[in-house]
Structure 1
Amino acid sequence: MKLNKYIDHTLLSPDATEAQVEEVIKQAIDNHFHTVMINPYWVAKTHKALEGTDVVTATVIGFPLGATTTAAKVFETEQAIKDGVDEVDMVMNIGEMKGKNYDKVADDIKKVVKVAHNANKVAKVIIETALLTDDEITKASKIVADAGADFVKTSTGFSTRGAAVHDVELMSAVTKDTTTEVKASGGIHTTEEAEAMINAGATRLGVSHSMQVIGKE
């Protein structure tokens, strides 16, 4: 299985330096990954560096907790678009999801998705499966799909665990007849783990250890 184009080559460490961002960009270009996924501060630099390549720029919104206001998430999205982003991965309001305030969860998502789609950008929604029950994963995936997001995504990589095959199976069961796809992210370190996520229904992978996953490290 050729994994390169499944991969969002990810560097979201709070201590990531400019030199490390440049190295991730180079690796993505050389290996034809789908995106470079970096924090919002690095979007403009990354977008410029990727011009003329087959790799696009992605960033995170409301990251990593999802507990910023909707207005802040919308502003972050608008700023990222101005800086040249192609794809945004927002974190849903996990606390409101746990509290069963589903209308508030949906409204938060819809407003970010609308901004992204109005600019012809891809919108993904991180539901942080590590903090949800199976029923909540299913419900959250439906909310994301109903909101028209392009992807529902498992994890930030900053919680108690990353993606699990079971999570992806639950999410895929919800989205299989919709236009929403599944992104597995967090804790994917090997080719075998990556392929297991794809076999479970993921069409995109968020990976920090991309070189290892494609067998070049």
Structure 2
Amino acid sequence: MASTVADVAKMIDHSLLRPELTNEDVRAGCDLAARYAVASVCVKPCDVALAATRLDGTGVSTGTVIGFPHGSSSARIKAAEARTAVSDGARELDMVLNIGRLRGGDDEAVLDDIRAVVEAAPGTVVKVIFENAYLSDAEKIRACRLSEQAGVAYVKTSTGFAPGGATLADIRLMRANVSERVKVKAAGGVRTLDVLLEMSAAGAARFGATATAAILDDLSGRLARTGVATVRGDLSTDRRMGPDR
């Protein structure tokens, strides 16, 4: 498999979720995302309309978060958030499942929670955030199966706001416990090209990142130094292209 800078860019959701970001910060982040032609920009719910307007015609989707960052809103509120986000222009939704219900073994409540968002936003890409830092492997496996049963497009490791983020072990575990129909998104700690490439090789298809420009500029530089246009293999890093960071 060969991948260009454009291919890798389309694996990135540029994250604009920090609470202190202003409207001008959001506009600048959207402009960066459009310049690099990433898959989407993930903004706070209050910024969806602004981002959708800014990204109109760029080919970059607008995404937002639901029940963020703790997943503790009721299913009814999460569904209402989803409907509002879609109305404002969101085309991708990253929802946090109810972590406490999952840990407590209430699978029916977890399934209903995820399904409420999927059904509230037909035709929208729904990603379920597990927040793996708080879960056992058995709980992560149950979350995978419940998410797929609810009809989501992606399962996602983390919000980026918990004590831990994406790990290779979690990527492999999640990839092994959903069908090929469901993809895996890594978030939390994906700050370098080498980390992205390694996690891609482990099974992640999408990445939440704030270091988008650094990652893609690094890839462009490595390819330029080798005189080739693509990264070959399972997107795994070639150590001849540069040192780890």
Matched residue count: 214
Q: How do residues 127-166 of structure 1 correspond to structure 2 at under 5 angstroms?
A: 127-166=130-169
**Which structure 1 residue ranges, 4+ long, deviate > 4 Å from structure 2?**
none
* Structure 2: segments with no counterpart, 5+ residues: 222-245
Determine helix, strand or coil for the equivalent of 1:215.
Answer: helix
Q: Verify the 8 A CA contact 1:157 1:185 in the aligned structure 2.
A: yes
CA positional deviation for 1:178: 4.1
Q: Verify the 8 A CA contact 1:7 1:33 in the aligned structure 2.
A: yes
Q: TM-score normalized by structure 2? A: 0.85
Instruction: Tell me how far apart the structure 2 counterparts of residues 133 and 165 of structure 1 sit (CA, whole Å).
Output: 15
Instruction: Tell me how far apart the structure 2 counterparts of residues 70 and 107 of structure 1 sit (CA, whole Å).
Output: 7
State whether structure 2 residue 64 is matched by structure 1 residue 95: no
Q: How do residues 66-215 of structure 1 correspond to structure 2 at under 5 angstroms?
A: 66-117=71-122, 120-175=123-178, 177-215=179-217
Identity of aligned residues (%): 39
Deviations 1:24-51 (A, max 9, x none): 1011100000001100000001101111
Q: TM-score normalized by structure 1? A: 0.96
CA positional deviation for 1:54: 1.2
Show the counterpart of 2:240.
none
State whether structure 2 residue 10 is matched by structure 1 residue 5: yes
Instruction: Tell me how far apart the structure 2 counterparts of residues 138 and 165 of structure 1 sit (CA, whole Å).
Output: 15
* One-letter amino acid of the structure 1 residue matched with residue 191 of structure 2: H
CA positional deviation for 1:11: 1.0
Instruction: Tell me how far apart the structure 2 counterparts of residues 143 and 213 of structure 1 sit (CA, whole Å).
Output: 33
Q: Verify the 8 A CA contact 1:145 1:178 in the aligned structure 2.
A: no
Instruction: Tell me how far apart the structure 1 counterparts of residues 148 and 20 of structure 2 sit (CA, whole Å).
Output: 33
* One-letter amino acid of the structure 2 residue matched with residue 149 of structure 1: V
CA positional deviation for 1:215: 2.5
CA positional deviation for 1:60: 0.1
Q: Verify the 8 A CA contact 2:80 2:120 in the aligned structure 1.
A: no
Instruction: Tell me how far apart the structure 2 counterparts of residues 25 and 76 of structure 1 sit (CA, whole Å).
Output: 22
Deviations 1:125-170 (A, max 9, x none): 0011111111111111111111110000000001011111110100
Q: Verify the 8 A CA contact 2:132 2:157 in the aligned structure 1.
A: yes
